């Protein structure tokens, strides 16, 4: 089935947006979510909205599985199998196959495992490779975790922080052990060419670890098609798994036998209940687990994943690009009198599912937007982020958000004295 097309070129009225919504095959998916009244939610790139099914599912897990099933539910309710079952269900969204993904722990910890495994593989292949290449603009925790790993290994690893995407290829050379990148940048919304960068890194003998925090559920990803080596990502953004829901890790079959990391908890053991004294890693993706998982939060991830089975990433991508194209076009035309600077690439191939604009008073403007029900967020310096989740964002939402932004800017109705809080 071909993805739907959205013709946004001639959209200059709210009525035209409503017409797009009326014709949108993805529009009914919005009913699968519970969204607050009076809010235009453009922060699904930070925390996805709540699937309606999550409330019943929570009640089942808490009242029935925990309350009534008690310890028996580890087997009867399938709690032990959840990381793998959810991983299998997530796999098609990122070009993975069943048995290659588990939902577990946090993105930070999964990145630590994958990076440790990658360095160990390279230490066997080519121990002279000591450089880990990433971007200075990567999400900081990725760099912190890599730094923690490198310092503690104390074997001469160093992190090369590249300042612009254009310099990446040159930075991957014969000294590079691992290229570690976030596929879609959290501030700019810029997306890397996964296949091309992976190919280049492999040609140079490096392994590639992708962080899909802002990609999974947002853009089509084809890890196996790109021949990537490892990936981690987040379920609480575009996958709508719930606040702080466990993250995922992907290890392709070809690397599973060599996948070794130091976080060898009992869930990664070949026979966790044998209570054997010696550690023996599970076969397959199970070795990427560590300890007991938070079942209630974990179970809710399924409510987000099942919604994707009513559509396709190709269809969602078509709508996502239409939403972001329209937002850019309307913001630039209707707010032309104001100093908005587009940070996100115009080129579709280099754009995730968010749009970032700078404004000299970006923080204050974002606070004013939030006060009027348009929820995006702010990142230094001066960047207003707007995330577009095609599952529940409508074209009328885009129109209304831009009109509220325009009104705020036209009337300078924002408080530049507003203190910058830690989180916005």
Nearer to a second copy, 80 or 358 (CB): 80
Go through 250-282 and write b for each residue having 16 or more CB atoms within 10 A of its CB, e for each that does not.
bbbeebbeebebeebebbbbeebeeeeeeeebb
Residue in this structure with the two tokens 């630590």, named with its chain if needed: 112
Residue in this structure with the two tokens 């074997």, named with its chain if needed: 155
The interface mask with a second copy, positions 331-370, x = CB under 8 A, is ---------------------------------------x
Nearer to a second copy, 80 or 175 (CB): 80
Go through 121-134 and write b for each residue having 16 or more CB atoms within 10 A of its CB, e for each that does not.
bbbeeeeebbbbbb
- Check binding of 269 to a second copy (CB under 8 A): yes
- Check binding of 46 to a second copy (CB under 8 A): yes
- Check binding of 203 to a second copy (CB under 8 A): no
Nearest CA to 117 out of 153, 141, 93 is that of: 153
Nearer to a second copy, 25 or 78 (CB): 78
Kindly tell me which residue out of 84, 87, 165, 246 binds a second copy, with binding defined by CB under 8 A: 246
Query: CB–CB of 107/114 below 8 Å?
Result: no
Question: In the complex, what is the shortest distance from the CB of residue 182 to a second copy, in angstroms, rounded to a whole number?
Answer: 13
- Check binding of 179 to a second copy (CB under 8 A): no
Kindly tell me which residue out of 22, 63, 81, 98 binds a second copy, with binding defined by CB under 8 A: 63
- Check binding of 112 to a second copy (CB under 8 A): yes
The interface mask with a second copy, positions 92-111, x = CB under 8 A, is -------------xxxxx--
Question: In the complex, what is the shortest distance from the CB of residue 5 to a second copy, in angstroms, rounded to a whole number?
Answer: 31
Kindly tell me which residue out of 9, 10, 275, 337 binds a second copy, with binding defined by CB under 8 A: 275
The interface mask with a second copy, positions 19-38, x = CB under 8 A, is ---------------x-x--
Give all strands (DSSP E) within 212-303, no chain letters. Answer: 230-233, 248-250
Q: Is the bond preceding residue 41 a cis peptide, omega within 30 degrees?
A: no
Give the span between the Cα atoms of 31 and 287, in whole angstroms. 38
Nearer to a second copy, 80 or 202 (CB): 80
Give the span between the Cα atoms of 189 and 350, in whole angstroms. 8
Exposed/middle/buried for residue 164 (C-beta within 10 Å: 0-12, 13-18, 19+)? exposed
Residue ranges in 224-243 that form contacts with a second copy under rule CB under 8 A:
236, 242-243
Numbered residues of the known binding site for pyridoxal 5'-phosphate: 107-108, 139-142, 182, 211, 214, 236, 266, 292
Question: In the complex, what is the shortest distance from the CB of residue 177 to a second copy, in angstroms, rounded to a whole number?
Answer: 16
Question: Which of 21-29, 67-75, 215-223, 346-354 is the region at the interface with a second copy (rule: CB under 8 A)?
Answer: 67-75
- Check binding of 414 to a second copy (CB under 8 A): no
Ramachandran quadrant class, 275 (left: phi over 0; alpha: psi -120 to 50; beta: rest): left
Binding residues with a second copy: total (CB under 8 A): 89
* Distance (Å) of CA 197 to CA 134, 149, 229, 319, 397: 12, 24, 12, 26, 35
Exposed/middle/buried for residue 312 (C-beta within 10 Å: 0-12, 13-18, 19+)? middle
Kindly tell me which residue out of 94, 118, 149, 179 binds a second copy, with binding defined by CB under 8 A: 149
């Amino acid at each position: 089935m071909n993805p739907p097309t959205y013709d946004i070129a001639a959209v200059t009225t709210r009525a035209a947006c409503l017409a797009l919504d009326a014709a949108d095959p993805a529009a009914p998916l919005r009913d699968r979510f519970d969204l607050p009244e009076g809010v235009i939610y453009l922060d699904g790139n930070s925390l996805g909205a709540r699937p309606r099914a999550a409330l019943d599912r929570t009640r089942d897990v808490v009242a029935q599985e925990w309350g009534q099933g008690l310890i028996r539910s580890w087997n009867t309710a399938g709690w032990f199998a959840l990381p793998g079952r959810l991983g299998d269900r997530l796999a098609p969204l990122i070009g993975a196959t069943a048995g290659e993904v588990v939902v577990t722990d946090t993105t930070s910890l999964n990145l630590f495992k994958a990076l440790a495994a990658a360095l160990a593989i390279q230490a066997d292949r080519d121990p002279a490779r000591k450089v880990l290449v990433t971007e200075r603009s990567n999400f900081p925790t990725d760099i912190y975790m890599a730094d923690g790993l490198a310092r503690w290994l104390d074997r001469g690893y160093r992190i090369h922080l590249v300042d612009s995407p254009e310099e990446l290829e040159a930075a991957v050379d014969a000294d590079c052990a691992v290229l570690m990148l976030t596929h879609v940048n959290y501030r700019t919304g810029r997306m890397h060419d996964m296949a091309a960068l992976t190919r280049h890194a492999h040609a140079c003998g490096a392994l590639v670890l992708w962080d899909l925090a802002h990609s999974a559920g947002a853009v089509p990803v084809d890890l196996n098609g790109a021949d990537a080596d490892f990936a981690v990502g987040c379920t609480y953004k575009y996958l709508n798994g719930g606040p702080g829901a466990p993250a995922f890790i992907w290890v392709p079959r070809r690397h599973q036998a060599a996948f070794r990391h130091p976080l060898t908890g009992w869930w990664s053991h070949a026979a966790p209940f044998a209570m054997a004294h010696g550690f023996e890693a599970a076969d397959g993706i199970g070795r990427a687990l560590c300890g007991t998982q938070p079942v209630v939060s974990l179970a809710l991830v399924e409510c987000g994943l099942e919604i994707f089975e009513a559509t396709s990433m190709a269809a969602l991508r078509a709508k996502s690009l239409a939403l972001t194209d329209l937002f850019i076009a309307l913001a630039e035309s209707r707010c032309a009198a104001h100093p908005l600077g587009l940070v996100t690439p115009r080129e579709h191939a280099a754009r995730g599912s968010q749009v970032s604009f700078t404004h000299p008073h970006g923080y204050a403007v974002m606070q004013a937007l939030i006060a009027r029900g348009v929820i995006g967020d702010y990142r230094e310096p001066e960047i207003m982020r707007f995330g577009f989740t095609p599952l529940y964002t409508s074209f009328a939402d885009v129109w209304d958000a831009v009109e509220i932004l325009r009104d705020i800017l036209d009337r300078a109705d924002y408080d530049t004295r507003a203190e910058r809080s830690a989180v916005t």
